[in-house]
Amino acid sequence: MFDFRITARAGRARNGLLPTPHGLVHTPLFMPVGTLGSVKGISPQEIRDIGSQIVLANTYHLLLRPGPQRVKALGGLHRFAAYSGPWLTDSGGFQVMSLGHLRRISEEGVVFQSHINGDLIELSPEKSVAVQEALGADIIMAFDECPPYPASREYMKESIERTLRWLERCFKAKTRPDQALFAIAQGGIDLELRRISAEATVAFDAPGFAIGGLAVGEPKEAMYPAVELSTRILPESKPRYLMGVGHPEDLVASVALGIDMFDCVYPTRTGRFGYALVAEGRMNLKLTRYLDDPRPIDPECDCYACRHFSRAYLSHLIRAEEMLGLRMVSLHNLRYLHRLMEQARSAIAEKRYGEFARDFARRRFGQEIPGWFARALQEGGHWE
Amino acid sequence: MFDFRITARAGRARNGLLPTPHGLVHTPLFMPVGTLGSVKGISPQEIRDIGSQIVLANTYHLLLRPGPQRVKALGGLHRFAAYSGPWLTDSGGFQVMSLGHLRRISEEGVVFQSHINGDLIELSPEKSVAVQEALGADIIMAFDECPPYPASREYMKESIERTLRWLERCFKAKTRPDQALFAIAQGGIDLELRRISAEATVAFDAPGFAIGGLAVGEPKEAMYPAVELSTRILPESKPRYLMGVGHPEDLVASVALGIDMFDCVYPTRTGRFGYALVAEGRMNLKLTRYLDDPRPIDPECDCYACRHFSRAYLSHLIRAEEMLGLRMVSLHNLRYLHRLMEQARSAIAEKRYGEFARDFARRRFGQEIPGWFARALQEGGHWE
C-alpha cells in the first residue's frame, strides 16, 4: 500500500502509480477540493465521471463542523460523503493561518478562533493527526506552519524548525496503518531555507512529500526556483505534492520539474465566478458577446456542460446567478484540469512532454512564453 | 397532436395521455418550474432521470433576460436549455402581478417595471403570445389577470371579463400550429364568478383549460369548492391544469376531483431552505437531530440523494449552505412529487384511488384528516 511506482519518465517529469486503500491513482494528477466533504455543487458520481482520482477535504472546516467524531461515527469521509475513492485531508495548519483567526502559535501548537462562532480551538500535531484519523482519508498531511508571504528570514527559520519538530510529533502520534502521512517541506522562496527544510524533511521516511508555502502571493519568478530546488532534494521514489497550486500553466510547468500531485480551489472558485478554463486561458462567460454564442465552452471537451450547453445558455445562467450555471462551469473546469493531466501522462509515456508543454504554452500565451515557464521546461530537460 | 385521451377513471379522477411535439405525457402530472430556463440546480439529464415530463418556464423572466429573440435564435427553449422534452410557458401575467412591479393595467394590457433594471415594459395578449411563440414551448398559456387575494367582487367581475376579452385576442394572435394554447378560468373563490368565468372560457375550443387565481393565500376551505366547481364545468375531454399548486396533499385532493396537471416552485424552493418532502410532511434537515442520522431522507425513495446520502450528510451540507445539499434536497423533493403522481396513476388504473388517497392522508395527517381533504375525496367519489 502507498508503494509509489514510476512507470515512465520524460526529462524530470514522471508518470507514477500510487496504490491506496481505496484505489490505484495515476500521477501526475490534480485533486479537486471538497472543503466540507463536498466539491462545491458536484456529486460523487460526477467526480468519478470527470476522472477525479483523489478528493481533498479540509481538516480545519470539518473539525468545526460537523466534527470529526461525527464523521467517524458515520463511517469516515468515504461513507459520510458517499465518495468511495481515495481522499486526502490537509492538516488544518494552512487554513488556521489563511482564514486569519489565528490567536496564538507556540511550540505546543496553535490556538485559533472559529470563523463560525468565535470559539477558541486548539490544534497541535497530535490533535491534527487524531482528527485526520477520525476523518479517515487515505492520505493525511503533517501539521505544519505555512508562514505568510512575505515573512522575515528570522521568522521563517524559526518556523521551519518548529514545523520539523511538529513533523516528528505527527509521526509519533499516528496510529492507523491504513493511512499514509505525507511530510511537508516549507521555507518560502528563500532557497537556503528551502534546502534546509527539504533536506531535514526527507530524513523522515514518509510515503510522500509535499512542498508547502508556495503560491501564497509571491511572483512566479520566485516560486519556480523553490519548486526546482525542492524536486531535486525530495526523493525520486516518492510522490511529490505541490500544495495549493492549480493554474493550468503551473501544472504544466511543475510536472516538467517532477511534481506528481496538485490541489487548488481555483477551478471551482473561478467557475463560480463565471470563468471557464480553456486552452487560451479563462473565458469570462459574463461578457455580453457570449449571450449569443451557440458554441460549447470548448468543442474539444467531453464534459457534460460542453456536450449539452452553449456559451449563450451558460452565460445567461451565470448572469442570473442560477445554480446550474455555477455547477456546470465548475464541472467543466475540473474536467479541463483532469484532461490536461491525462494529456500530460500520455506525453510523458510517449517521451514528448516538451512538445506537449510547448504546444500548451503557444495556445495559452501566444508568441510570448514567459521566462519562468520556459526555464521550468529547460530545467526539467524538455527544451532542446 | 394535443389530442388528450383518457385511459382510466376512478371516481372523478382520471389518467390521461397528452401527445405533444416533444413527447407523450402521462397525466396526472406535476411540472417542475424552470423559471429562467433551468430548474434551479438540476440538469436536464436529472430532470429525465427523476421522471419529470413537462418543464415550465416563466415568460416574464425570460422576456427580461435573455430575451425571447435570443432564445429563438438559439433554437427555442428545447435547444437553448438542452431539454428536448415538452415545455410549458406561462403567460407572464401572474408574475407581473406577484412580483409587485405592476404600474398600469388597462384594456390594452399591462405596463410593468422590470425588477432587474427598472425599465418600463408592456405586456399584452398579443405580446405574450408572440413572446411565447419565440420561446417555443409545446404548451403556451393565455394572458390573463390573476387578481390578488382578497379582491372586491366588483374588481373581480371587471377582471374576469377583461381576461375573457384578452383570451379572444390570444387566440387571434396565435400563429404557430405546433403549440397548444391553454385557456385560463379565473374568478377567485367567489363561486358565482368562478362559474361565469369557467362557462365563458370553455366556449373557446382550447386544447386544454387551466384554473388560475387559486392558492394565492385563501384558506383551503375556500379553495376546494372553487376547484370542485371548476372541474365540473371544464370539459371532460380536455386536460385540466390547476396552476401554482404543489403541496403533496393538494395534489392528492385535486386529482380526486379530476385535475390533471400541476406546477409549483414549492418542491425546489422548500428544498433550498432545507426541507425534504416525506410521507409525513416536511423533514427540516436543519434540526440538530439529523446531524447524526445515518438513514436516507426516505428509504422508499429511489432518487440519487436517497440512494447515496444520509440525513446526516445532507443536514451538514444544508447547514453550511453547500450547493450540493440544496441541489440534492430539491432533486429529492421533485422525485417525491413525481412518485406521488406515478402512484396516483397506478391507483386510478387499478380503481383504488380512494384507498390510495386515504393511505396518503393517514401518513400525512395522522388521525385528524382535515375536512377539506375528506370532502374532496367524497365529492370526487372516492369515499364510501
Task: Kindly state whether residues B290 and B214 are assigned to the same domain.
Answer: no
pLDDT beyond 90 at A101: no
Q: Residues of A comprising the binding site for substrate?
A: 90-94, 144, 186, 213
Task: Kindly state whether residues A218 and A282 are assigned to the same domain.
Answer: no
Give mean pLDDT, residues B166-183: 98
Task: Kindly state whether residues B159 and B194 are assigned to the same domain.
Answer: yes
pLDDT beyond 80 at A384: no
Task: Kindly state whether residues A124 and A180 are assigned to the same domain.
Answer: yes
Which CATH number does the domain housing residue A167 bear? 3.20.20.105
Give mean pLDDT, residues A352-369: 97
Say yes or no for a CB contact (<8 Å) between A322 and B82. Answer: no
Residue A361 lies in a domain: no
Interface list for chain B against chain A, based on CB atoms closer than 8 Å: 36-45, 65-66, 70, 73-75, 80-82, 291-292, 294, 304, 308-310, 312-313, 316-317, 319-320, 322-328
Q: What is the pTM of this model?
A: 0.97
pLDDT beyond 80 at A99: no
Say yes or no for a CB contact (<8 Å) between A82 and B294. Answer: no
How close are the terminal C-alpha atoms of chain A, in Å? 38
Domain boundary among B212, B246, B264: B264
Smallest Cβ–Cβ distance between A66 and the set B66, B291, B328 belongs to B291
Residue B372 lies in a domain: no
Which residues of chain A have a CB within 8 Å of the CB of B326?
Answer: 323
Enter the C-alpha cell of residue B142.
393565455
| Whether residue B49 lies in the annotated active site | no
CA distance A278 to A112: 39
Q: How many domains does chain A have?
A: 2
* CB distance A281 to A261 below 8 Å: no
Give mean pLDDT, residues A211-235: 97
Q: Residues of A comprising the binding site for Zn(2+)?
A: 301, 303, 306, 332
CA distance A216 to A98: 10
Confidence of residue B100 (pLDDT cuts 50, 70, 90): low
Name the β-bridge partners of A283: A276
Give mean pLDDT, residues B326-333: 98
Query: Residue ranges of the alpha helices (H) in B174-279?
Result: 191-202, 220-233, 248-256, 266-272
| HEC secondary structure over B11-63 | CCEEEEEEEECCEEEEECEEECECCCCCCCCCCHHHHHHCCCCCEEECHHHHH
Say yes or no for a CB contact (<8 Å) between B65 and A41. Answer: no
What pLDDT is recorded for position B101? 78
Task: Kindly state whether residues A90 and A228 are assigned to the same domain.
Answer: yes
CA distance B188 to B215: 9
* CB distance B314 to B278 below 8 Å: no
- Using CA of residue B352, residue B357, residue B362, residue B364, what is the dihedral sign? positive
Q: How far is CA A23 from CA A30, A86, B105, in A?
A: 16, 6, 65
Say yes or no for a CB contact (<8 Å) between A37 and B313. Answer: yes
Confidence of residue B369 (pLDDT cuts 50, 70, 90): very high
Confidence of residue B39 (pLDDT cuts 50, 70, 90): very high
Task: Kindly state whether residues A346 and A257 are assigned to the same domain.
Answer: no
Task: Kindly state whether residues B126 and B13 are assigned to the same domain.
Answer: yes
Q: Among A92-96, B138-142, B189-193, B303-307, whose mean pLDDT is lowest?
A: A92-96
Confidence of residue B33 (pLDDT cuts 50, 70, 90): very high
How far is Cα of residue A81 from the mean position of the Cα atoms in its chain?
19
Residue B383 lies in a domain: no
pLDDT beyond 70 at A88: yes
Helix (H) or strand (E) holding B182: strand B180-185
Helix (H) or strand (E) holding A45: helix A44-49
Residue A209 lies in a domain: yes
Give mean pLDDT, residues B205-231: 97
pLDDT beyond 70 at B249: yes
Confidence of residue B40 (pLDDT cuts 50, 70, 90): very high
* CB distance A63 to A91 below 8 Å: no
Q: What is the mean pLDDT of chain A?
A: 96
pLDDT beyond 90 at A228: yes
* CB distance B146 to B93 below 8 Å: yes
pLDDT beyond 90 at B45: yes
pLDDT beyond 80 at B384: no
Domain boundary among B264, B295, B315: B264
What pLDDT is recorded for position A100? 63
Say yes or no for a CB contact (<8 Å) between A70 and B312. Answer: yes
Task: Kindly state whether residues A81 and A124 are assigned to the same domain.
Answer: yes
Name the β-bridge partners of B111: B104, B122
- DSSP string for residues in A168-223: HHHHHH---TTSEEEEEE--TT-HHHHHHHHHHHHTS--S-EEE-S-SSS--HHHH
Task: Kindly state whether residues A101 and A244 are assigned to the same domain.
Answer: yes
Task: Kindly state whether residues B38 and B181 are assigned to the same domain.
Answer: yes
Question: B291: buried, middle or exposed (CB in 10 Å: 19+, 13-18, 0-12)?
Answer: buried
Say yes or no for a CB contact (<8 Å) between A316 and B73. Answer: no
Residue B364 lies in a domain: no
The number of beta carbons lying within 10 Å of the beta carbon of residue A104 is 11
pLDDT beyond 80 at A252: yes
Closest chain B residue to A75, measured at CA = B294
Backbone angles phi, psi at A313, to 5 degrees: -65, -45
Give mean pLDDT, residues A289-300: 98
Task: Kindly state whether residues A141 and A159 are assigned to the same domain.
Answer: yes
The number of beta carbons lying within 10 Å of the beta carbon of residue B113 is 16
Residue A329 lies in a domain: yes
* CB distance B44 to B55 below 8 Å: no
Task: Kindly state whether residues B124 and B211 are assigned to the same domain.
Answer: yes
Residue A363 lies in a domain: no
Q: Is the ipTM of this complex over 0.90?
A: yes
Domain boundary among A214, A248, A264: A264
Give tens-digit pLDDT for A200-222. 999 999 999 999 999 999 999 99
Which residues of chain B have a CB within 8 Å of the CB of A291?
Answer: 66, 70
Closest chain B residue to A84, measured at CA = B308
Give mean pLDDT, residues B192-219: 97
pLDDT beyond 80 at B98: no
Domain that holds residue A248: 5-264
Residue B79 lies in a domain: yes
